[in-house]
Structure 1
């Protein structure tokens, strides 16, 4: 966190679902916590009591100092995966009013007063509308804070090599999916989202944190078992192989550009 020298930072990581903090950013959170920064997680759709308990346990394994949750429900990846009963739930994450999401997140941000906020990519990482909705809401929250002049908070979005994201999109298309109609109500267009800028990126080596991530990820065995084959294969891979895919955490700075130094980390 060199933009403020060796000063320890307050970091808030905002995720859509319980398991995102581990599977998508576990190595990064573990590294930041090990460096003495105060890392907290806000999960918007944590799931049932069992999954929420596993969220807390996983965060403890990663060294996260605090976990808070909102009470949204996980939305479907595709419109045809949502049955009639689920579609009646009023608080599905990707279809919730953006003003409600912003209000809920704003309250937690105001309480903690973070120096750094981290959240999902604008394209939903692998194309999940819940992730994209979370990213959109967090960006609005932080931009509002900065415009008001109340904080010098920096906002980073998770990033992934674009060739990986585009390969994933191509595989979904080969599988017969329309990536222009994703999410609970089919309104999320991954093709459009992929046109987002990919500048101001920083890569952080997190190889030493792969073991901590693996220990935390075991708490999400039910979710991993239901995941796509590539994810299941990656989670079963030995750590020496995982380092080629997960050995660097990539982030894109979207608020606080005047402080950006691509060679120095956060």
Structure 2
């Protein structure tokens, strides 16, 4: 788990226009339905992001983050991973929700199917021409793995782990040779779960594959530093916001006609 249940994402530098999103239900290619949270920019920039939460799945932090993305001109859909296994929708889950048992039942294929449904949602409404993924921890790992998709303009991972999420499964390092889109990775220098040598191994794999990438480590920052309550890391949060927005802006196509 990255953030406590009452956590909030930091505000983007310069602020964001107020946006109120809405809960929606998406259907993946395998027929599974799952909850998501959609937020539209007041004026579409042509860019959209699929927000991929940490192991807790979709909760208030990521709904708020989707609204912050929309508030800076980027349409957003934040997804939940547990539509196949949890009876209650994301907004009905309490703090005692046993998310770890549901994480254990996710697969690379199910996460990829859910991402695909969110990408289709962003593209289907005529507002978005360039889609990105932005993931955190568990979602960061799978955001990196999404770089093999040809329908994405780029992928972003906040402290995305390098380990296998299922036994014998892919890792961001093992799959780097098949990546087809640029990668932005943001890491905490004090994050014991992702040692520096693993970040460097990832960098080496991306370089060997000729994949455009930027991997940035914030010295002294912990895992999950992207949290409004972490006053000591406000500069790192602001810099991360700036990097993500520039990454998206540079790789986005024109606005829809």
TM-score, structure 1 normalization: 0.41
Higher helix proportion? 1
User: Which protein is bigger by CA-based radius of gyration?
Assistant: 1
TM-score, structure 2 normalization: 0.42
